[in-house]
């Protein structure tokens, strides 16, 4: 009798998959099927895995069927939500992929400002629905990102200072555990698991639904960009460091070093852009706040004014198309003194390709008032959070982009605080050869231990290991 690489009888696996196919509401795609190559693709083109089968879930019952089949066959399992995970954990060589991307419902309760979201929903789809009701759920910067994956890792974007991370706005969730239990989790129900979902990645089960507390937001917000060419970076960063102290929570800002897209009128050299959104209807007050920075550091170019929220949220949507080859890392820090400014200027001066960039999110505000121990998110004290990415389509660029991303992270380490944003840590191959240790460092000892205890309880056999994996405590 032949066996698979995973120890399950080959004929038994084939029979189990056929039985799964017969019972699914959705579909099962296997090698040789016409749609196999499309079904196996994930967002990051660096990842080229060939799963044994891909389940395209048609309803929530397909989750149970898939988990049972994975356990029966001992095929490794990967779970894919909206499909924008930069680390490529939504697929697995020789394993079973549960693709939830077709489950995209959004239900809004305007009176109570609650929004329930299915597991395959993207951020852009969520934004479109909530905007019709004058509401918003704080999210990330790229509309193609999956809402559930974003929530499980953090969710940092244009409302982080005014309203916190996406996970800070989570009211409740429904989860299917490795044992097949369906649990509702919130601050009042299964509170320990609720803690772990908010920052713990996909380690603890399949999240089948999330409900958020939305905020009121006008359809038009004050937003804009201040652009600085290379000779003015030092002054702009020094002025920003002073300006960012004591800002009202309504001012959300992100520094970006990148070569602007062609046609932006800024040439082919890297530019520093201070982007901002003012989360208040009082635009005059927001303009007064921005003027404080403009006076100390006059920009080389600018655009700002009343902007439709959906337009502002979508400004980066075309930058990272599916199939891009992406490298990512991140660093939390709190200093923006002359030494750090010099390092940032030197690093950003090394940007030579479009698709390469450095973002520095200004935090504090609502983000910083969440107690450190309240969620599994690794750091609440940092004033800033740097993310660096290299994204191109040509494999010939891989080595250069990976080296640039490593260099930025390494040179910022002397100023780094504890933790790392696990949703932007890149493929396992880029974690220094020891992903488990990288995950331990990302969470810190206490939070990692607490997550390991939850793993022991809800996934002791580590079924959900194709993530930035927290091993069960007994391991």
User: Mind listing the pLDDT tens digit for each residue in 151-195?
Assistant: 999 999 999 999 999 999 999 999 999 999 999 999 999 999 999
Angstrom distances, CA of residue 216 to CA of 278, 315, 383: 13, 21, 26
- Model confidence at 2: pLDDT above 70: no
Cβ proximity of 84 and 142 under 8 Å = yes
Every domain range in the chain assigned CATH 3.30.43.10: 10-99
Q: Looking at beta carbons, which pairs linking 342-345 to residues 24 or more positions away fall under 8 Å? A: 342/234, 343/411, 343/412, 343/415, 344/237, 344/257, 345/233, 345/234, 345/237
Q: What is the DSSP annotation of 353-383?
A: STTEEEEEEE--HHHHHS-GGGSS-S-SS-S
Residue 281 phi/psi, 5-degree rounding, is -75, -15
DSSP 259: P
Residue 159 phi/psi, 5-degree rounding, is -130, 20
Q: Return d(Cα 148, Cα 279) in angstroms, integer.
A: 24
Looking at the DSSP bridge assignments, the partners of residue 53 are 96
pLDDT of 427: 84
State whether CATH 1.10.3720.10 applies to domain 106-217+437-458: no
Residue 432 vs residue 234, higher pLDDT: 234
Every domain range in the chain assigned CATH 3.40.462.20: 220-427
State whether CATH 1.10.1040.10 applies to domain 10-99: no
Which is it for strands 271-278 and 251-258: parallel, antiparallel or unpaired? antiparallel
User: Mind listing the pLDDT tens digit for each residue in 79-116?
Assistant: 999 877 889 999 999 999 999 999 999 999 999 999 99
pLDDT of 174: 98
- Band (263; pLDDT cuts 50, 70, 90): low
- Band (8; pLDDT cuts 50, 70, 90): very low
Helical H segments across 74-141, by residue range: 123-131
Q: Which of 265-279, 356-370, 409-423, 441-455 has the lowest mean pLDDT?
A: 265-279
pLDDT of 6: 41
Counting every residue, how long is the chain? 475
Q: Which of 95, 82, 96 is nearest to 24 (CA)?
A: 96
User: Mind listing the pLDDT tens digit for each residue in 323-367?
Assistant: 889 999 999 999 999 999 999 999 999 999 888 999 999 999 999
Residue range 220-427, CATH number? 3.40.462.20
Cβ proximity of 145 and 166 under 8 Å = no
């Amino acid at each position: 009798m032949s066996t698979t690489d995973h120890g399950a009888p080959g004929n038994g696996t084939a029979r189990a998959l056929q039985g799964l196919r017969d019972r699914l509401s959705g579909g099962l795609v296997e090698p040789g099927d016409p749609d196999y190559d499309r079904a196996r693709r994930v967002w990051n083109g660096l990842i080229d895995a060939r799963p044994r089968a891909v389940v395209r879930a048609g309803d929530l019952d397909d989750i149970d069927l898939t988990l049972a089949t994975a356990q029966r066959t001992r095929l490794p399992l990967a779970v894919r939500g909206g499909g924008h995970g930069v680390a490529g954990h939504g697929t697995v060589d020789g394993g079973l992929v549960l693709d939830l991307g077709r489950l995209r419902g959004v239900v809004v309760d305007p009176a109570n400002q609650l929004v329930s979201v299915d597991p395959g929903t993207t951020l852009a789809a969520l934004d479109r629905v909530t905007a019709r009701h004058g509401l918003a759920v704080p999210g990330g910067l790229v509309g193609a990102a999956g809402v559930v994956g974003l929530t499980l890792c953090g969710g940092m974007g244009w409302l982080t200072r005014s309203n916190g991370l996406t996970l800070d706005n989570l009211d409740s969730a429904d989860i299917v555990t490795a044992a097949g239990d369906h649990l509702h989790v919130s601050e009042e129900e299964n509170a320990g698991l609720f803690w772990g979902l908010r920052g713990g990645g996909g380690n603890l089960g399949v999240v089948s639904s999330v409900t958020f507390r939305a905020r009121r937001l006008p359809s038009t917000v004050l937003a804009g960009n201040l652009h600085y060419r290379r000779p003015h970076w030092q002054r702009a960063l020094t002025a920003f460091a002073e300006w960012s102290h004591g800002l009202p929570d309504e001012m959300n800002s992100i520094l970006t070093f990148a070569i602007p897209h062609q046609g932006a009128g800024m040439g082919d050299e890297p530019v520093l852009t201070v982007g901002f959104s003012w989360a208040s209807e009082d635009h005059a007050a927001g303009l007064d706040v921005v003027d404080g920075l403009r006076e100390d550091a006059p920009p080389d170019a600018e655009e700002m004014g009343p902007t439709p929220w959906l337009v502002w949220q979508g400004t980066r949507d075309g930058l990272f198309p599916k199939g891009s080859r992406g490298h990512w890392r991140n660093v939390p820090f709190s200093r923006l003194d002359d030494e750090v400014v010099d390092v940032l200027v030197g690093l950003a001066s090394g940007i030579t390709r479009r698709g390469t960039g450095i973002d520095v999110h200004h935090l504090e505000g609502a983000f910083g008032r969440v107690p450190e121990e309240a969620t599994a998110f690794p750091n609440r004290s940092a004033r800033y959070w740097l993310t660096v990415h290299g994204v191109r389509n040509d494999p010939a660029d891989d080595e250069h982009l990976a080296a640039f991303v490593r260099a930025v992270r390494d040179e910022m380490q002397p100023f780094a605080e504890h933790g790392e944003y696990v949703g932007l840590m890149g493929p396992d191959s880029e974690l220094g050869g020891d992903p488990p240790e990288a995950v331990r460092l990302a969470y810190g000892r206490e939070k990692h231990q607490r997550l390991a205890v939850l793993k022991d309880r809800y996934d002791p056999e580590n079924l959900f290991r194709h993530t930035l994996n927290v091993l069960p405590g007994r391991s």
